[in-house]
Amino acid sequence: MGSAVERTDEHVREYLIYRGFTNTLKHLDNEIKADKEKGFRVDKIIDQLLQFIQSFDLSGLKEYWLYLDRRLFCRLEDVYRSTVNKLRTSLYRYYVINTIQVIRNLEKTQEFFQKQALELQGQAEWRDWFILPFIPAPEQNPAFSPYFSRQWSDTFLVSLHNFLSVLFQCMHILLAELLNTTSLTEENEQLCQMVFALQGESRDQKDGDEMVHHKLPAYVQNMDRLEDTELDLVSSQRVVSTSTPSRNFFSTFLPQGRRTPGKTPQSTAGSSPNQGALGRKEPLTNQVRFPQTAEKKGEASDAEAPAEACIDVPDSSAHTRTSGGVGEGGGLSAEQPFIKLSQEEYGEHHSSIMHCRVDCSGRRVASLDVDGVIKVWSFNPIMQTKATIMSKSPLLSLEWATKPDRLLLLGSGVGTVRLYDTDAKKNLYEMNIDETHPRILSLACSPSGSSFVCSAAALSRSGSVESVPRLPIPVSGQLLLWDTKTVKQQLQFSLEPEPVAINCTAFNHNGNLLVTGAADGVIRLFDMQRYESAMSWRAHEGEVYSVEFSYDENTVFSIGEDGKFIQWNIHRCGVKQSEQLLPQDATGPFILSGYSGYKQVQVPRGRLFAFDSEGQHVLTCSSSGGLIYRLTNGDPALESVLSLGGHKAPVVTVDWCSAVDCGTCLTASMDGKIKLSTLLAQKS
C-alpha cells in the first residue's frame, strides 16, 4: 500500500511540474512532510515513533499514537483491541527503558510516571513499574532485566512492524469490495426504479372488474410466498457470494455501506421457526405495495381485490394509526425516503427496556432493563453480546462516554455513578453524588470527553425510587458537572426559579451549549463556557420527557407529558417554530396490558425520538414499532413516511445510528425485545 501511495504522489508531482503549478507543488510537498500516516509506509511510521522516543518527547509520542488509534486502530474489531493495548503498553515501556539506558537520568523516568499516573495506576500490567525509578540497578532486577535486553526491543519493533504491515496490506483488498458494493448499490437503485415504474403501470389500468396480470419479474411474483422484500430476493438471484473476508476496520473507510443479509431467502414459504432470541430475522411486511387506482378503490370488493393491489403480506393497522405521509393503502410511494432492508431482534433481556443507546462509533449498543441488567452488544457483522452487567442497586440512567467510546456511565437510584470499561469488563470508578438526591435521572457526556453532566433528584414523595403515576408537585433536584479525568465534581448549576429534577439532557456538537428538560415543564439552555443559564422557558404542561438539538442547532425539539412534539427557536426565547400533537403511545406513560386485568405502567426514561444523519427525519415510539416522520417545517409539523413495526409490546425508547448510509434504527419495547432495523436512504 505504501509503494502505491508513493507512486501516486510522484505522478501528481510530475503532473504539477508539467502544468507549471509551482505553488500547488510547494503545498503538496509541505502536506506530504506533515503527513502523519507517512503515505502508509510502515518504516516511516516506526521511524517517527523512534524519533519521539529518542528525543524523550512524551507528549509527541502520546499524541502520535492517539492519532494512529483514532485513524486506524479504533476501526478494528473488538477482538483486536487487546493486541493494540499490548502494543501501546510495550511502546511506553520501551520509552521508559530508553530513558534509563541512554541518559542515566531519572528525571525523565519520573516525569513519565508523574504524567501517566492517572492513566496507568489502575492497570495491572503497570502495577510493579512504579518502583522502577527507585531501584538502584533496574537492569539487574529479575522483574525488569528482560526489558533491557536487545532481544526484547527487537521483538517489539518487529511485532509492531508486522502488525502495521498486515494492516496496510489489507487495504487494497477493500478496493475490490468498494467497487463491488458500489455496483450492488447502483443495481438496487435500478431495481427500485423498476418497481416504481410498475406502480405507474398499475395506476393506468382502467378496467375495475377484470383481473390484470402484469409480467412481473420472478422475484416480484414469488414475493408473497417467500415473505421477503424485493431487495433480498434480488440478492439471491445474483451469482455473487455474500460472504466476505473477516470484517475489519477498513469497512468504515467505504463511503457507502450496505448490510448484506445474513441468510439467502429460502425456497419454501416462511422462515425457520427455531431461530434464537439473539439476532432473529423477522419477515418484512408493508415494504412495497402496488396501490389500487382511484376507480378500483371505489369498485372492488374485499372478495375481488385485484392482483396488483398488494404484493406483500397486508398489515394496514401499522399505517392507519398515524395521519399524513403514508396513504390510505400504506406502503411505499415514489417519494419514499427509506427502504427497510432487514430487521433483526435482540432478545436477551427478560424485562422492560429503559434505555437503549448506540455508541458514537456505531459499533456497540448498551441496553438497560428495569431489573438493572445491562447488555453491551454489537450488531455488525453479527449480533453478539460483549458484556453483561448485573447491578445490586437499581439503575435509572445510562450514557456512552465519547472519548474513549468504550466507557459507559451508569447512574443508579442510590446516589452513585459508575464508570464501566466495556473492554476490560470492570468498574473503573464509582462516584458518590449526593445522599439527599439519590436518583440519577440523566447523564450526558460532553463531546470532548473531559466532563459529564449528571442530573440527581430526591426521592419521590411516596418514598420510593420510582412511583407511577407521578405527583403533580415536582421533586427537587440538582444538575452537576463532573470531571471525567479527576473524577471530581466541578460545579453545581443554578436551577431557577427553584431546584427541580432534570429528566433529560443533551449537548450540542461542540459542547458549548447544554439543553435540559425538567419535571416542572421548563426547558433550560446553559452556556457551558460560562457555566450559567442562558435562557429558560415554560415548554410543556407537565414534565419534559425528552429534548434534543436540531441538525443545524438553531432550534431545540422536545416531547412532554402533554403529548406535544414542539420545535423551539433558541435565538428567541420561548418562541415555537412548529408543534405537533402525538398519540400517547409515542410520548408515554406506556401501558402494557395482559390477562386477568394485568397492567404494567412505565414512565419515559430513555430517548423518545432520534434524528437521521441529515436531521430531516425523526424516529419516534409507537405501540407496535418505531415510526419515522419527515420534518416539514409547516402544518402539520410531521409527515409520516415509514412504520418499522415488528413489536408486540409498546416501544419505550429509540435510537438512530447513521454512521453509514445504511442507517440502523433501534426500537426497544416493554417485553424486553429490541428490534434493529437497517434502512437504505434513497438519494434524490
> Nearest to residue 546, comparing CAs of 559, 562, 556, 537?
559
> Using only C-alpha atoms, what is the Rg of the chain?
29
Task: Find all residues with CB under 8 Å of 46, minimum gap 6, and list them.
Answer: 157, 160, 161, 164
The residue with greater pLDDT, 630 or 20, is 630
The residue with greater pLDDT, 116 or 176, is 116
Q: How many CB atoms sit inside 10 A of residue 286's CB?
A: 23
Fold (CATH) for 1-176: 1.25.40
Q: Where in 582-646 does DSSP place strands (E)?
A: 590-593, 599-602, 609-611, 617-620, 627-631, 638-643
Give the model's pLDDT for residue 55.
85
Task: Find all residues with CB under 8 Å of 568, minimum gap 6, and list them.
Answer: 523, 537, 539, 555, 556, 557, 558, 574, 575, 576, 577
Give the model's pLDDT for residue 434.
82
Cell of 307: 392482483
**Which stretch of 29-43, 209-223, 375-389, 414-428 has the lowest confidence by average pLDDT?**
209-223
Reduced DSSP (H G I as helix, E B as strand, rest coil) percent helix, strand, coil of the chain, to 5: 30, 25, 40
Average pLDDT, integer, range 414-442: 90
CA dihedral of 221, 224, 225, 226, whole degrees rounded to 10: 100
> Nearest to residue 450, comparing CAs of 493, 511, 503, 515?
511
Give the model's pLDDT for residue 473.
66
- Categorise residue 300: left if φ over 0, alpha if ψ from -120 to 50, beta otherwise: beta
Task: Find all residues with CB under 8 Å of 365, minimum gap 6, and list them.
Answer: 346, 356, 357, 358, 359, 376, 377, 378, 379, 666, 674
The distance between the two most distant Cα atoms of the chain, rounded to a whole number of Å, is 100
Average pLDDT, integer, range 429-450: 90
Q: How many CB atoms sit inside 10 A of residue 214's CB?
A: 14
* Interior angle at CA 78, CA 75 and CA 84, nearest 5: 75
Task: Find all residues with CB under 8 Å of 416, minimum gap 6, and list them.
Answer: 393, 430, 431, 432, 433, 440
Give the model's pLDDT for residue 105.
64
**Which stretch of 71-75, 106-110, 611-615 has the lowest confidence by average pLDDT?**
71-75
Cell of 78: 473488538
The residue with greater pLDDT, 176 or 435, is 435
Task: Find all residues with CB under 8 Å of 258, minimum gap 6, and list them.
Answer: 181, 184, 185, 661, 662, 680
- Rounded distance, CA 34 to CA 36, Å? 6
**pLDDT surpassing 80 at residue 515:** yes
**pLDDT surpassing 90 at residue 675:** yes
Residues 481 and 489 sit within 8 Å (Cβ to Cβ): yes
Domain spans in the chain, listed from the N-terminal domain onward:
1-176, 337-349+585-683
Does the CA dihedral 74-79-84-86 come out positive or negative? Answer: positive
pLDDT, tens digit, 9 for 90 and up, residues 225-274 = 434 443 343 344 433 333 344 444 333 333 444 343 343 444 333 434 44
Residues 414 and 431 sit within 8 Å (Cβ to Cβ): no
* Interior angle at CA 345, CA 342 and CA 346, nearest 5: 140
Task: Please report, in angstroms and rounded to a whole number, the separation of the first and last CA atoms in the chain.
Answer: 35
Q: Give the residue ranges of DSSP H helices in 427-535.
A: none
- Rounded distance, CA 362 to CA 590, Å? 28
Give the model's pLDDT for residue 202.
62
Q: Binning pLDDT at 50, 70 and 90, where does residue 677 land?
A: very high
Question: DSSP of 16-39, one letter per residue?
Answer: HHHHT-HHHHHHHHHHHHT-TTGG
Task: Find all residues with CB under 8 Å of 540, minimum gap 6, and list them.
Answer: 521, 558, 560, 561, 562, 564, 566
Average pLDDT, the chain: 76
Average pLDDT, integer, range 620-629: 92
**In terms of residues, how long is the chain?**
684
Q: How many CB atoms sit inside 10 A of residue 142's CB?
A: 6
Give the model's pLDDT for residue 21.
83
Q: Binning pLDDT at 50, 70 and 90, where does residue 38 land?
A: low
pLDDT, tens digit, 9 for 90 and up, residues 44-54 = 888 888 888 88
**pLDDT surpassing 50 at residue 312:** no
Q: Is 551 strand, coil or helix?
A: coil
Task: State how beta strands 664-669 and 674-681 pair.
Answer: antiparallel
Q: How many CB atoms sit inside 10 A of residue 599's CB?
A: 8
Task: State how beta strands 373-378 and 502-507 pair.
Answer: unpaired
Q: Binning pLDDT at 50, 70 and 90, where does residue 320 land?
A: very low
The residue with greater pLDDT, 436 or 16, is 436
Q: Is 238 strand, coil or helix?
A: coil
Cell of 331: 406502503
> Nearest to residue 101, comparing CAs of 137, 126, 65?
137
- Rounded distance, CA 644 to CA 141, Å? 64
The residue with greater pLDDT, 178 or 559, is 559
- Rounded distance, CA 108 to CA 101, Å? 11
Q: What is the pTM of this model?
A: 0.54
Cell of 680: 437504505
Residues 478 and 434 sit within 8 Å (Cβ to Cβ): yes
> Nearest to residue 58, comparing CAs of 138, 140, 125, 119?
119
Q: Binning pLDDT at 50, 70 and 90, where does residue 136 land?
A: confident
